[in-house]
Structure formats: C-alpha cells, structure tokens
Amino acid sequence: MAALLTASTPLGARAEPVGTSTGVSTATAAPDVGTRLLNTGARMASAALGGDVQEVLDVLPAPSPALAATMAAMALTRWGRRSGVNAGGFNLVADLVFWAGAVALPVLYVMPLFGDEVSQPLELRRTIELDSRIYLLTYDKSSPLTGAFQREPSGLGLGYEAGVHAPGLKAPVQDLMYGLHNHLVAHGKAVDALRSVGGGVFNIGYVPTAQSFIPVNDSPEEVEAAKNAFFSYKPRHGHMWSMAMYTDPVFFGTYPEDFISQMGSHLPPNWEKDLPGIGGKTDFCGINLYSGFRVKKTETGIEPVPVPSGREQTAIKWYVEPETLRWAPRFLSERYGKPVIITENGLSLSDWVHVDGKVHDPARIDFTTRYLRELEKAIGDGANIAGYFHWSLMDNFEWAEGYRERFGLIHVDLQTQKRTIKDSGYWYKSVIESNGKILHD
C-alpha cells in the first residue's frame, strides 16, 4: 500500500512565526510568540463574544500551543455574525501552524464571509481578497509544503443551510449559491497567493466532504450508474450536498450543466467571468469520507437500496459502509485525473479507560481494517490514491457535537487532560510500520 498511510508529527517543535505580508519568512523569531498568539486569540474571542480583552486575558492560564488552538477555535467556530473576526482567526491559525511546527497536512478553511448580517446583499460581501491573504504563510523554500483548502459542502450545507454548525444560519437559496461561488473564488485566489510566493513548492489540494455512492454490485452497468449519480446534481438533503458543483469548477473550471440548469439563476451576476480564476490550478483532490449508501440502477436513473434493520452504526449513528473508501476515491480519480488523498476517515465510539489502565477499542481496529482493505481495492482498480489520514489523532471538540463524540486514536480525559493511547493507536502504528501488511494477518 505504497503512499497510502501518512502519519502526522506530534505537537511540540517550535517554529518561526508568520512573516511579512509578502509571505517571506522573517529572519528571527518573536521573543514571546506565545503571548502574541494568546493576545490575538483573546481579542478575537472578546470581539466575537462582546466582552473586554483584558477580562478575557485575566482568566487565562499561561500561554501554550493547546491554549492558542483553543482561542483560534473560539474565533473560528463562533456563533456570532460580526464581520472581520474570521479573517483574524485565519491569521491566528496560520501563526499556530508554524509555532507548533507540527502539521503534516495543513488544512485551511475557506468560508464564505457573508458580512455582519445575513440580510445584507451578498454582492456587497465579496471580501475574498482579505481571506486569501492568510494563505501567504511562512515556509522553508527548500521543503515542499502540502496543504489543502476545505471544506464544502459541510460548511455551507450544515452551517448556512441546516443551521446545525456555526454560524447557525438557515439562509435562502440565493444566499447559499452566492456563498458557494464566493467560496470557489476564494479558493482560486488563495491558490494564486501561494503560487505568487512559492511557485511549485506548494502541493495544493481541495477537500470537499461527501457520502459515497456504492453500487449494488460490481457490474459495469451498476458501477457507471453509481458514478454518474455521485456527480449529478440531485442533492439528497437541501441544495448543497452534491459533489460536482464544488469539484468541477476547481478542476475543470466549469459548473456542471445539470447544476446550472437548476441553480444558475441564483448565482451572482457575471459569475462566468470568475471561472478562469477558479479552475485548473489545484494539484490534488482530498476527500473527507465516513460513510455511504448503496444504490441500484433503474430505467430512469438510480434509487437507494433500503438499509437493512440492525445495520452496524458508529456512536454518532453513521452507518458502517467500508466500500465507501473504494468507490468515491475511485470515481474522483477517474473523473479528474488527479491524485486523491483521504483527508478524513474514522469513527466515533464510546471509549473509556478500563480497570487495567488501557483503552480497548476493538471496533475501531475492525472498522479501519475493513475501510483500508476497500481503499486497497480502489488502488487495485487503478485509482491514484496518494495518502490516507485517520480522523483523529486525539479525542477532540467535534463542531456542534462538542466533546460528546470520541474519534481519537488517543483518549483524552477531559477533566485532567491525561492522554492514553488506545489499542487502536498502537495498532495503527503497526499498520504504518508494515505499510499495511498487517491488514491481512
């Protein structure tokens, strides 16, 4: 399984701070970068929550990478609508990446900044140039940097349509389509910003989130039907959960015809003029994949196969469908001809420390074994799979779910902050060391 498994470096190594506005590294590190990050995060959190900066600082412990990350998360996942906070949040995350010196695959969020109130005309909210500046990151020109911009459709679909993720809005369809287009313009400008200072040193990707369409069997007819459905504009939920409306502009520089026929009237005026700045300059396609659903061919297209009673589910109630990692990556590789990286895959379980002091999570080992075996099949089918990242290293704050869900390979005691490597963490180390051979033991 060459180039299949990628291990992230643990936090801890200190690195240079973000440099000048041109993105060129400064020669010396700031004497107190931790305090600088802490102050920046406190100001953003204070602005988002309407409090006083000093009041926030007075209750905070000493600076640390974890605290800086928490402050960044507070600013980025706030539920308020004040304009200007997101841009600062991005800058803080950029600082944090290079302060911690630990991110193997930086993933930066390009969110459609709508402004301070959703009722304002969206054509006045095209603050894309501001967002793009944060991608002029400090980097060592002798070492290529692989990074990705994400993540739609979950950002728009869950945050601006369903309202279950920050900022918790339920916007009308035209606002959603403006947000989609602004998001894609932001991606194109961010790529341009990186290319302007780094040229080919950056390996840049785009990362949507999706459910896989799984053919009911391996016959060519069923596979083709599932593939066509995966890229067609027939969202199962709302307006934003469809793949090609995001990825076709990024890789082809065009919106799909079926999307335009249904939604083109809701896009901003002169949207066509933006397409050359969006498409054809992204190096790889990332994908966040957890589950999928089976479909079968019919005379008029496809239809979902009913889920059997008692189907296996994770703690967050997502169905366990290992073939998710065979079909969606293969379909993306075939359509766009780009390397595909699985940027998220994993599961939530109800993990706890057992009486022997260890965390036994055999279901996570079984789940990951099954999914990675299917990813091997995608490689055998000819898909260009460049990497896989397990979500997540540690139990973490999961968007609207907060701390209820445990996705980590490392258990975190939320009261003491003690870390305990789960059985799956030791197992995953062995998977990497064996280059996947133990998946078949």
Window from 191-200, 201-210, 342-351, 404-413 with minimum mean pLDDT: 191-200
Higher-confidence residue: 180 or 155?
A: 180
Spatial neighbors of 417 by CB under 8 A, at least 6 apart, are none
- Could you tell me the CA-to-CA distances from 356 to 98, 352, 359, 407, 408 in Å, in that order? 38, 11, 9, 21, 19
Higher-confidence residue: 397 or 147?
A: 397
Residues 23-48: what's their mean pLDDT?
A: 40
Residues 270-288: what's their mean pLDDT?
A: 94
Model pLDDT, residue 301: 86
In the chain, domain spans: 12-103, 105-440
pTM of whole model > 0.85?
Answer: no
Query: Residue 192, Cβ neighbours under 10 Å: how many?
Result: 13
Residues 407-433: what's their mean pLDDT?
A: 93
Higher-confidence residue: 327 or 86?
A: 327
Spatial neighbors of 280 by CB under 8 A, at least 6 apart, are 251, 252, 253
* Kind plus residue range of the DSSP H or E element containing 263: helix 257-263
Model pLDDT, residue 325: 97
Topology annotation, domain 105-440: TIM Barrel (3.20.20)
Model pLDDT, residue 151: 56
| pLDDT above 50 (res 140) | no
Distance CA 116, CA 22 (A): 28
List own/partner pairs for 84-91 with CB under 8 A and 24 or more apart: 84/47, 85/44, 85/47, 85/48, 86/111, 86/113, 86/131, 87/113, 87/127, 87/130, 87/131, 87/133, 87/134, 88/40, 88/43, 88/44, 88/47, 89/44, 90/131, 90/134, 91/18, 91/40, 91/134
Kindly indicate the confidence band of residue 149, based on its pLDDT and cuts at 50, 70 and 90: low
Kindly indicate the confidence band of residue 204, based on its pLDDT and cuts at 50, 70 and 90: confident
Residues 127-141: what's their mean pLDDT?
A: 34
Point out which residues pair with 304 in neighbouring strands: 295
Model pLDDT, residue 340: 95
Spatial neighbors of 140 by CB under 8 A, at least 6 apart, are 25
Where do the H-state alpha helices sit in 293-408? 324-336, 362-380
If you average pLDDT over every residue of the chain, what do you get? Answer: 74
